[in-house]
Amino acid sequence: MSASAVSPSIVGAEQFLQPLTPSQLLRIEGELIGELPLAIAALRFTPAHFDAKAFERLRIPAPDTLAKAVDKRRAEYLAARLCARRALAANAIEGLPWTAEGERCPQWPGGCIGALTHSQGFAAAAVAAGSRLSALGIDAEGWIHSDRADRLAAMILCDSELDHWRELPELARGAWLTRVFSAKESLYKALYPRVKRPFYFHDAIADFDPTRPSRFTLALVKSLDAHHPDGFSVEVRALDFDRGVLTLIALPA
């Protein structure tokens, strides 16, 4: 379908919001979405310029859980919901996602499925009709630099992934780890609504094709249920941007 910015009139009226450039939107549409039947809306934001009255001005309800949150957390929440509203509108649906009591993931209106993400002043939402796709995950992560990569690698990577990571040039390790980390976050967002049980970074393994650096696979190394057994695999689409990486997983209905 398409990638879109939140309405320029909305972004222009709020000091803490900034639109993506047309070229950035074209990259999301061409390199990430491609032929997939989904919409992605995205924007940038600056938490330092956020003010609490923005929720009222933008007609986004603020949940009670944000009452005592810091401005950064509230800005992230608001930016992601603005993206969700725009991505739903691209599917001809009005409304916003909500979190039902006892649920750990957003619920989507109008028979849609979707996912939200925010990181490093970037927010995005991906939405599709539930009749076209059965699972959808999107995740943005800021680049993990070398000092943090050394500390985090064993938490994120399986043994074989860790062996491969150690063989990479030192300057390439942070970016590779960031892509795998983001992909596993996207996998969780895509599959958790289906399996309704937690799973972890070491429960999936990445397999890269050096001829296709922006596409790779993740395969489960444990069974989650009868429909998602050990070996179940998905394609990951990855898009590098200035501050990090954006990954997407979409499964057909």
Task: Indicate the DSSP class of residue 30.
Answer: I
| 240 has binding-site annotation | no
Determine if residue 194 is labeled as part of a ligand binding site: no
Q: Give one word for 93, left, alpha or beta, with left for phi > 0 and alpha for psi -120 to 50.
A: beta
> Given the structure tokens 């689409």, which residue do they identify?
237
User: Which are the contacts of 223, defined by CB distance < 8 A and separation ≥ 6?
Assistant: 229, 230
Cβ–Cβ under 8 Å, residues 5 and 29: no
Q: Is 51 known as a binding-site position? A: no
- Is 81 labelled a binding residue? yes
Q: Is the dihedral of CA 27, 31, 32, 35 positive or negative?
A: positive
> What token pair was written down for 162?
């860790």
At residue 24's C-alpha, the angle toward residues 170 and 89, to 5°, is: 125
Residues in CB range of 50: below 8 A, 6 or more apart = 16, 71, 72, 74, 75, 78
DSSP H helical ranges for the chain: 8-13, 22-27, 54-57, 71-90, 146-156, 159-167, 170-195
Of 206, 249, 205, 200, the residue nearest 224 (C-alpha): 200
Cα 103 from Cα 150, distance rounded (Å): 34
Residue 73 assigned to a binding site: yes
Annotated binding-site residue? 139: yes
Structure tokens that stand for 253 in this block: 């209905």
185 labelled binding-site residue: yes
Q: For residue 133, list its beta bridge partners.
A: 252
State the binding site for CoA.
Answer: 73, 81, 117-118, 139, 185, 189
Which parts are annotated binding residues? 73, 81, 117-118, 139-141, 185, 189
Residues contributing to the annotated binding site for Mg(2+) = 139-141
